[in-house]
Amino acid sequence: MRLETYSWLAVVLGIACAAINWLGLAGWMAALVILVSIGAHVAGNALGTRLREATDRDLATRRRLPRPIAAVPAAAPNHLKQRSSLGRLVPVSAGIGAACGGTAGAVSLLAFTTSSIPGAVLGGVSSAVIGALIGFLGASFVEILRTSLREAIAAEQAAASADRRG
């Protein structure tokens, strides 16, 4: 490294120490996060611009792909492509998750810490929100998995019956 680089490094280190003294450590960390975010944004824009300029826009016209011989028939829309309710399982699971999470959070705060009653209630509400989210996500996953399996089995049975006929 050159002497000029070390000089700039010393200047930046001095400014950082002054900023920690002036802003406090939390303020300095917040300023650092903002500066890193701005730097990442600028770097991303520069990279995107360079990639866009380097793209060969005439590639599709120069490379002529043969047309497909037979057209693929459009598949019938399945249940997962349509908007529908997730059913009664999801709100019930979210409610159970909220109740379990809130109870566990409040009881553990009262039992294992020196928390006050309002603090335990607030912690219980926070835990209930997290428990409801976990219950909702779990029930949504199970409902979508169940629907997918049901449609896959029905499609397989329909294909097997069509093979027997034809």
Report the pLDDT value the prediction gives residue 115, as an integer from 0 to 100: 85
Residues 48-64: what's their mean pLDDT? Answer: 72
Q: Both 91 and 158 in a single domain?
A: yes
Count: domains in the chain:
2
Does a structural domain hold residue 157?
Answer: yes
- Higher pLDDT: 139 or 29? It is 139
Report the pLDDT value the prediction gives residue 107, as an integer from 0 to 100: 92
- DSSP symbol at 70: S
Using the predicted structure, report yes or no on whether residue 103 has a pLDDT greater than 60: yes
pLDDT digits (tens, 9 = 90+) for 75-87: 666 666 667 777 7
Q: Identify which of 85, 86, 101 has the alpha carbon closest to the alpha carbon of residue 135.
A: 101
Domain that holds residue 149: 85-165
Report the pLDDT value the prediction gives residue 77, as an integer from 0 to 100: 63
Report the pLDDT value the prediction gives residue 147, as an integer from 0 to 100: 83
Does a structural domain hold residue 69?
Answer: no
Does a structural domain hold residue 65?
Answer: no
Does a structural domain hold residue 145?
Answer: yes
Does a structural domain hold residue 76?
Answer: no
C-alpha span between 90 and 98 (Å, rounded): 12
Using the predicted structure, report yes or no on whether residue 71 has a pLDDT greater than 70: no
Q: Both 147 and 96 in a single domain?
A: yes
User: Hey, what are 162's tokens?
Assistant: 């069509």
